[in-house]
Chain A
Amino acid sequence: MTEVIVELKNVEKSFKKSERQDLLVLDNVNFKMHTGEIVALLGKSGSGKSTLLRIIAGLVNPSNGEVLYRDKPVQGPARGIAMVFQSFALMPWLTVLQNVELGLEALGVSRDERRQRALKAIDTIGLDGFESAYPKELSGGMRQRVGFARALVVNPDLLIMDEPFSALDVLTADNLKSDLMDLWTEHKTGTNGMLLVTHDIEEAIQLADRIIIFRSDPGSIRAELHVDIPHPRNDQEPRYRALVDQIYTLMTTSPDRPESLLAAGGKATDISLGYRLPDVDISELIGLVEEMAEPDQEQSIDLPELVEELSLDVDNLLALTDILEILRFANISKGDIELTPAGRRFAEADILQKKQIFANHLLRYVPLARHIRRVLNERPSHRASEGRFLGELEDFLSEEEAERVLKVVIDWGRYAEILAYDYNAGTLSLDNPE
């Protein structure tokens, strides 16, 4: 029989933004996890999925709502839950063996038993021979294996993983994933459930029995999908491909647009001043647009294919498509992307023309850029301190996020030559330095 391992009831999390305001990062999250299940939390970066994982782990307290682990409220890290970290979080001054033993030491396990269990876990995860190595001697993949061994050695009831494969290269990650799945299907992990946070769509489909898709601003559950494909899963299978398409469609549809899934063509978004502009590098944006305008590309391109072809990170692609849509350079619907006429013109223009087109679109469709430009125009000195705009942005965003967004706009504005910026003084102006 399956039992409930973890249950979340109306979980909310907000961070203090200023004396008066709070910033809501998780809103009304409800879900249950059962024994024998692998669940993936899938979402863009900054959607609060990692925060949710830390709430379940007991590292962060929810502002509202309740987390139950085996029917008991979670208050601080619970025994029985072990975690694998994105950045491995190994102690660099401890050997592989000592790292694996650490959790047992904390539990007060005797020296001999500790050693025995640690050696067994190291053996299971395929690290035999590296016991006395220090983490810095190991490659990323090996380090994460230590992370897994350290988690599994305490025989956790629930294993939670925070983007465990995202710091590894593709081949290493695949290798580690398939090893983990082998252990899981052969019941060698000793755990009753696994919960994983990821932004990689295919990774979620490959591993999970259930995928929970997150939306951002504030983070909340947008959809839940069951994956009923037996392991090992073949990524060419029609059911697998259909799932990939379905998730791309879900994730590229901006939640601000009411179910535009059905609306043909999909309307581009109008964003507000405090919109969390994605971190996008101009040259990457231009590169993508030019690639899409190549004669051998079809009018409307399948997003999963584009990801594969350009070997892009999904997170990165979503950021790029987001800004392409905002700037009206492309339309996205049903997991396909298509350049608008303006986008095509942009792709075919020369360097200086590109800047002009970009500047026009930036001022028209990105309210923050428009606002900064207006302020600079209105002032007799044509200059303003960045602090002024940061203050305004902080009405909508956290301090850190405001800084990031302003930096993105300054970057784009400099490229478009609609503003100049002095790094040392921290001032924005219209003129270029002499």
Chain B
Amino acid sequence: MSMRYNKVYTQEKFYLAPNRWDFLALVFIFAIIGLLIWSASQMAAPYDVGTGLHISLNPSNLPFYALQTTFRMLIGLVISLLFTFIFGTWAAKSKQAEKIIIPLVDILQSVPILAFQAIAVVPFIMLFHGSMLGPECAAIFAVFTSQAWNMMLGFYQTVRNVPDNLKEAAQMYHLSAWQRFWRIEVPFSMPGLLWNTMMSMSASWFFVVATEAITVSGQNIRLPGIGSYIALAIGQKDMHAVGFAIITMLIVILLYDQILFRPLMQWAEKFKTEETDNEIESYSLVIDVLQRTRLLAFVRRGIIRFDDLFVNSIKSGARAQHKPIFSYQKYQRFFTWSWNIILIISVIFALSFLIFFVLHTVTWNEVAQVFLYGAYTATRVLVLIVLCSLIWVPVGVWIGRRPGMAQIAQPVVQFLAAFPANLLFPLVVIAIVTFHLNVEIWTTPLMILGAQWYILFNVIAGAAAIPNELYHAANNMNVKGWLWWRRVVLPGIFPYYITGAITAAGGAWNASIVAEVVSWGHTTLHATGLGAYIAEYTRTGDFHRIALGVGVMSIYVLTFNSILWRPLYNLAEKRFKI
């Protein structure tokens, strides 16, 4: 706990001359700005479908590819943030909007992200005909879909949970709706929003890499980026290039974490409502350097000015202090009813259109076949979750019980979760090809390669959260072995474990689209499953079958959520929360 009483408001008098840290910071900041501008200029370059973009396996190009991949991430992030602010707030404030937005996003959330991709690529390319912007937008769209739902739902929840007394205080002191948004709702949601963003960011790396090199309707599209680089390396069986790509990605994620998220997390500390003790202090080298500069004081003053203008100059209507109060319950009832009817009709219409669209070319037999594929993939997901749990729960508990260990392990695991697992696929594929392993079984682990870390991560957090006294008490009563697991640890980590397992399962479904069909050079391995089905028809551009595959996968995910995960989650919330 730092108790610094440096008076912010008197700081203007000091800090005039720049010091040596300022130069370091300046170089740093200009470098970032310059690189971003360069990346942006590359995006709008002319391009036609069919003309293969030149990607070179020369490692010296890798930094630039990495930069472009990162840039896509950033743009996707900004768009997701805008989406979150607009729709999250809208849903939290308006009952009518809430009724559409929330269920819709809930469903969108369970649609596999690469499936969105399959559907979205062609319209984007047509929209920006003859420009790189089309495929770029498609890739950014993948980043968006992997972040936006999660971020928006989280933001919506927290805006709704703003404590009553803060709302009342805002009313009593006549804050306008605009001021309330920036002074209360956004700050209150900040820690949760950042955390959600960071979590979905991990998934985004996976998808941005997967979507840079896509094959649509038989056309290869390769955007300059790490994803394309590794796709090319796979095509040319270049082991060294694969290795370079993996190393570059490691560095990129490390930098991203240091430059963007660490500083943000540290900054967000002040939005936490209460001081909590046993938290891992986030340290950031960047913040450390910046804090030594005089530039920061300068910038901070600018930000305060800007913030003042931004929040206080825009006069939104809600400042009118005497709102007319009238009872419109009668109308409201009528309104609600008609609204519900419109909603139901449009849902029925959309569904029948979809079914009609699919059945136009696909027979009932094939539909049944696709459901069977779905069952294969579902079995894989379940088996993987069980296997991973058997491995990572004991490991997680072991680490979580040692605070020193947990301090080190937690960021490492978080980092592993962020690393796009698809970069590692070639290593597994090479093994399968070399040792002639069973494709149906051995491609399966690929699905969980990235997602397994969520289980470990949460179990560590859970084991660390069990009060030490409980361990001591168990020890004192000589509770050991299986009894110790059954009565002490497993119930204790249950809520955490469930959260991790849900995330891991979601990740595995998503990954199935890239994990069930993998290749190395000219060898392509096909496993039987729904992911392979979708991947296959995305390649050939058969929209009816893509729609069918995506629909079936969504149905599976939704069903699993409602019959397995949600009840377990509720149980954990009700009974096992410490």
Contact = CB atoms under 8 A, between A and B. Distances in A.
Given A57-B172, A103-B173, 7 more contacts: A89-B163, A94-B183, A105-B175, A105-B312, A106-B319, A132-B6, A132-B8
Given A79-B321, A132-B6, A132-B8, A105 B168 contact: no
B173 A132 contact: no
Interface in B129-173: 163, 165-166, 168-169, 171-173
A348 to B, nearest CB: 35
Contacts of A90: 169
Nearest to A102: B173
A118 B163 CA distance: 25
Contacts of B574: 424
Interface string A25-64: 0000000000000000000000000000010010101000
A78 interface: yes
Q: Chain B interface residue count: which class?
A: 35 or more
Contact of B321 (A57, A77, A136): A77
Interface stretch (A107-115, A193-201, A202-210, A413-421): A107-115
A77 B175 CA distance: 11
Nearest to A130: B5
A77 B187 contact: no
A340 interface: no
B321 A106 contact: no
A136 B274 contact: yes
Interface stretch (B106-114, B265-273, B372-380): B265-273
Contacts of B69: none
Interface in A206-237: none
A75 B323 contact: yes
Interface stretch (A80-88, A257-265, A294-302, A314-322): A80-88
B348 interface: no
Contacts of B183: 91, 94, 102, 105
Contact of A111 (B1, B4, B274, B308): B308
B275 interface: yes
A103 B274 contact: no
Contact of A92 (B5, B273, B321, B575): B273
A89 B174 contact: no
Interface in B1-16: 1, 3-9
A82 B168 CA distance: 11
A81 B173 CA distance: 9
Nearest to B186: A93
Nearest to A133: B5
Nearest to A423: B575
A131 B10 CA distance: 11
Most buried by A among B163, B173, B321: B173
A129 interface: yes
Given A61-B325, A76-B321, A102-B175, A89 B274 contact: no
Contacts of A81: 172
A106 B171 contact: no
Contact of B325 (A75, A94, A131): A75
Interface of A is mostly: loop
Contacts of B273: 92, 136
A101 to B, nearest CB: 10
Interface of B: 1, 3-9, 163, 165-166, 168-169, 171-176, 179, 183-184, 187-188, 190, 270-275, 308, 311-312, 315, 319, 321-325, 574-575
Interface of A: 54, 57, 59, 61, 75-79, 81-83, 85-95, 97, 102-103, 105-108, 111, 115, 129-134, 136-137, 150, 154, 424
A103 B308 contact: no
Contacts of A59: 168, 171-172
A112 to B, nearest CB: 11
Contacts of B163: 89
A106 B183 CA distance: 11
20 contacts: A76-B171, A76-B323, A77-B172, A81-B172, A83-B172, A85-B165, A86-B165, A91-B169, A91-B183, A92-B270, A93-B270, A97-B9, A102-B173, A103-B173, A107-B174, A108-B315, A132-B9, A136-B275, A137-B3, A424-B575
Contacts of B172: 57, 59, 77, 81-83
A108 B309 CA distance: 11
B530 to A, nearest CB: 36
A130 B3 CA distance: 11
Given A59-B172, A83-B172, A107-B174, A93 B165 contact: no
A131 B5 CA distance: 8
Contact of B5 (A78, A107, A129, A424): A129
A417 B360 CA distance: 68
Among all A-B residue pairs, the 6 with the closest Cβ atoms: A103-B173, A89-B165, A89-B169, A93-B187, A93-B271, A106-B175
Contacts of B324: 75
A103 B174 contact: yes
Contacts of B169: 83, 85, 89-91
A132 B4 CA distance: 8
Contacts, number: 106
Contacts of B322: 75-76
A134 B171 CA distance: 22
A61 B183 CA distance: 26
Contacts of A102: 173, 175, 183
B7 A85 contact: no
A6 to B, nearest CB: 15
A405 to B, nearest CB: 22
Nearest to A92: B273
Contacts of A115: 9
Contacts of B319: 106
**Most chain B CB atoms below 10 A, which of A77, A94, A97, A108:** A77
A86 B163 CA distance: 13
Contact of B271 (A85, A92, A131, A133): A92
Nearest to B320: A76
A79 B9 contact: no
Contact of A79 (B171, B174, B184, B315): B174
Contacts of B271: 92-93
B174 A77 contact: yes
Given A131-B7, A132-B6, A133-B5, A91 B174 contact: no
Contacts of B308: 111
A156 to B, nearest CB: 10
Nearest to A424: B575
B345 to A, nearest CB: 27
A93 B267 CA distance: 11
A94 B175 CA distance: 15
Nearest to B313: A108
B323 A134 contact: no
A78 B321 contact: yes
Given A75-B324, A89-B169, A132-B9, A106 B174 contact: yes
A168 B77 CA distance: 44
A107 B174 CA distance: 7
Contacts of A129: 5
A111 B307 CA distance: 12
A86 B187 CA distance: 22
B337 to A, nearest CB: 15
B55 to A, nearest CB: 46
A373 to B, nearest CB: 27
A61 B322 CA distance: 12
Contacts of A87: 165
B14 to A, nearest CB: 14
Contacts of A54: 168
A78 B384 CA distance: 61
A75 to B, nearest CB: 5
User: Which of B3, B6, B183, B272: most chain A CB closer than 10 A?
Assistant: B183
A130 B319 CA distance: 30
Contacts of A61: 325
Contact of B187 (A75, A91, A154, A424): A91
Contacts of A137: 1, 3, 275
B312 A89 contact: no
Contacts of B575: 424
